[in-house]
């Protein structure tokens, strides 16, 4: 029987043809497989080397592989946080002609981790809460574009650090549906109910394995997604009515949504016949307000909370360097070259896979605040950087891409709580900061 391999991809990578598609995924060798921490899945998923990058390969049916491939493409065009599709592979057969499952190939999301890898020995309540809040934001973003997930869970999500919080990315879209007319309240509530049930089960599973801090209520953590979701959804879509002479409410609503990280593309404004009352309701809401502003000013493409933190530091820099006036572009350029880039470039080369540059900068600012509080005075940035590198960053695990033994399951501890200890070490290490301004 002739082996007819079918590859569906938006851009062909010749390396796809070199992967051992004639071999069951579970039998791929160590020369191909990369060991990374991964979440639970109903399908066999393994990480592999592809042309110098890491991809995830999931065995499934041909129909499901093609469907999910198309769905991930649609979500990417809608600018929804999700993994990037690479290819859908069908027509796999062994050298003897026996059929093998189809496969979906997606790009590994750098600096991301499954929820099980975001704690050391036990899961702390505050870490669990931050994960649930991030998942709630993701679910709201999906629902605003008309995406019904159908299988919301921590396991189907990847998390990246985002200035003390987390940013969530959709991983598994095989049960998802896109509805052009938007979702009904019943569909949204169904997703929420599934999320609550799955999260409670995942937290209870950690509890059964002795990996949950004592006194933590799994159901209460799962219930948290309901409150977070409804609060954000109400802020984004709720109708507000006020007196006609209180038009400042419109500006206040815009600022509120911007603070949450969203932009308003359109707003519906209605007045009563006698002009005494005005009602407003956002129509088209796009996430990433601070991301877009920072990208426009500096070219830095980072997570939303990281962008907010960097913009705040830029504003503080502007207040100190008054000679630049109010020209935002000039301020941004000088802040980038005099503040941000020197900090990033000062990180030793062998430590640059620990965290993303924006997250490192955020943590350096946090470290400076704690050191200054402990000493009762402002600490020079060179000393802060030296202390941070020697006492914090050097002891973190690499989060860009973790390579390990070619085993099916990798369990590696990760520091979950980014809050420095109250007694900040003052050892300045041996880092050379002569290039800093």
CA–CA separation, 424 and 25 (whole Å): 47
Distance of CA 237 to the CA centre of its chain: 23
**Percent of the chain at pLDDT exceeding 70:** 82
Which range (4-18, 100-114, 229-243, 262-276) has the least confidence?
A: 262-276
pLDDT at 411: 33
Which range (173-187, 289-303, 312-326, 347-361) has the least confidence?
A: 312-326
For the record, the structure tokens of 222 come out as 């799962």
**How does pLDDT run across 284-326, given as a tens digit for each residue?**
556 777 888 888 888 888 888 888 889 888 888 887 775 555 6
Which range (18-32, 123-137, 291-305, 315-329) has the least confidence?
A: 315-329
> Taking 80 as the threshold, does the pLDDT of residue 19 lie above it?
yes
Residue 266: what are its φ and ψ, rounded to 5°? -160, 145
CA–CA separation, 160 and 335 (whole Å): 25
For the record, the structure tokens of 409 come out as 């399951």
**Percent of the chain at pLDDT exceeding 90:** 31
> Taking 70 as the threshold, does the pLDDT of residue 425 lie above it?
no
Distance of CA 80 to the CA centre of its chain: 11
pLDDT at 278: 78
> Taking 50 as the threshold, does the pLDDT of residue 427 lie above it?
no
**How does pLDDT run across 190-216, given as a tens digit for each residue?**
999 999 999 999 888 877 777 666 667
Which residue shows structure tokens 């043809």?
17
8 A C-beta contact, residue 267 and residue 236: no
Q: Which residues contact 173 (CB under 8 A, 6 or more apart)?
A: 68, 71, 72, 75, 82, 149
8 A C-beta contact, residue 107 and residue 69: no
Cβ-based neighbour number of residue 395 at 10 Å? 9
Higher-pLDDT residue of 431, 51: 51
CA–CA separation, 360 and 303 (whole Å): 13
Grade residue 59 by pLDDT with cuts at 50, 70 and 90: very high
pLDDT at 3: 57
Angle made by CA atoms 89, 76, 170, in degrees to the nearest 5: 80
For the record, the structure tokens of 253 come out as 């609503």
Domains of the chain and CATH, by start: 6-108 (3.30.200), 113-237 (1.10.510.10), 240-287 (no CATH), 346-437 (no CATH)
Span 403-412, mean pLDDT? 35
Residue 274: what are its φ and ψ, rounded to 5°? -95, 0
8 A C-beta contact, residue 210 and residue 121: no
């Amino acid at each position: 029987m002739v082996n007819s391999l079918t590859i569906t991809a938006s851009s062909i990578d010749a390396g796809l043809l070199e992967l051992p598609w004639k071999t069951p995924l579970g039998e791929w060798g160590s020369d191909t497989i990369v060991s990374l921490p991964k979440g639970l899945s109903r399908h066999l998923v393994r990480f592999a080397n592809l042309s110098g990058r890491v991809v995830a390969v999931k065995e499934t049916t041909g129909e499901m592989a093609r469907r999910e491939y198309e769905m991930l493409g649609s979500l990417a065009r809608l600018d929804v946080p999700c993994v990037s599709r690479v290819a859908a592979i069908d027509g796999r057969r062994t050298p003897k002609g026996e059929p093998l499952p189809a496969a979906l190939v997606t790009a590994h999301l750098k600096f991301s981790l499954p929820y099980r890898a975001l704690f050391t020995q036990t899961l702390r309540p505050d870490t669990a809460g931050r994960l649930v809040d991030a998942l709630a934001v993701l679910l709201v973003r999906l629902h605003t574009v008309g995406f019904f997930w159908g299988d919301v869970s921590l396991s189907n999500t990847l998390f990246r650090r985002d200035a003390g919080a987390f940013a969530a990315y959709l991983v598994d879209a095989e049960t998802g549906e896109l509805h052009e007319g938007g979702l009904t309240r019943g569909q949204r509530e169904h997703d929420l109910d599934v999320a609550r049930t799955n999260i409670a089960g995942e937290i209870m599973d950690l509890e059964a394995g002795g990996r949950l801090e004592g006194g933590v209520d799994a159901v209460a953590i799962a219930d948290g997604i309901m409150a977070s979701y409804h609060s954000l959804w109400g802020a984004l879509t709720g109708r507000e009515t006020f007196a006609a002479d209180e038009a400042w409410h419109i500006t206040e609503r815009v600022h509120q949504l911007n603070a949450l990280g969203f932009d308003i593309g359109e707003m519906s404004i209605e007045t009563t016949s006698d002009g005494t009352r005005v009602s407003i309701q956002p129509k088209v809401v796009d996430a990433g307000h601070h991301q877009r502003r920072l990208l426009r000013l500096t070219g830095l493409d980072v997570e939303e909370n990281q962008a907010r933190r960097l913009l705040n530091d830029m504003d503080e820099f502007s207040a100190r360097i008054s000679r630049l006036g109010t020209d935002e572009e000039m301020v941004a350029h000088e802040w980038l070259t005099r503040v941000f880039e020197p900090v990033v470039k000062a990180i030793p080369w062998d430590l640059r896979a620990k965290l993303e540059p924006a997250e490192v900068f955020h943590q350096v600012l946090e470290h400076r605040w704690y050191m200054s509080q402990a000493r009762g005075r402002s600490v020079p940035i060179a000393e802060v950087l030296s202390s941070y590198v020697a006492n914090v960053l050097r002891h973190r695990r690499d989060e860009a891409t973790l390579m390990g033994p070619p085993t099916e399951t990798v369990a590696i501890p990760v520091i979950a709580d980014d809050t420095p200890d109250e007694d900040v070490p003052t050892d300045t290490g041996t880092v050379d900061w002569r290039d800093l301004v």
